[in-house]
Structures are given as C-alpha cells and as structure tokens.
Copies of this chain bind each other. A is one copy, B any other.
Amino acid sequence: MSNHVYKQIELTGSSTTGIEDAIENAVSRAAQTVRNMRWFEVVDTRGHIEDGRVAHWQVTIKVGFTLE
C-alpha cells in the first residue's frame, strides 16, 4: 500500500431522507466515473428548510481514490 498515490475530490450529495443517504448519493454518483474510491470524510452538513421543516439534506464530503 505504501507506493500508492491518492487523489481527493470534494462532492456534495443531497437527500430528502437524511445524512447517510445524502453521502451514499454522492458516492454512488461519483462511482459512475471514478474508479478505486477508498474512503470519504464529511466536510460539512447543511440543508434546506421549507415550510418550517427540513426539505432536503446536503452533505459535502472529500472522497479519496487511488491513482492507478
């Protein structure tokens, strides 16, 4: 593992359900074009409010993947 080089990208996923689902949405969207994703880290957690309720959750993550 010690010779790998990783790249990190920053993504924001959204969900009407909750925090974990917003993260899963960002990861699965990125998986369409990025291979070898290894880990993520939450950068911040936000959301939009409509009619006095949380309408959707927005979570920004850094995702690291191996450069082959």
Contact = CB atoms under 8 A, between A and B. Distances in A.
Contacts of A6: 11-12
A20 B23 contact: no
Place the interface of chain A in its size category: 35 or more
A24 B54 contact: yes
Interface string A1-33: 111111111111111101110011111111100
A30 B6 CA distance: 10
A8 B59 CA distance: 12
A68 B54 CA distance: 21
Given A2-B56, A18-B20, A64 B12 contact: yes
Given A3-B25, A6-B12, A20-B19, A47 B54 contact: no
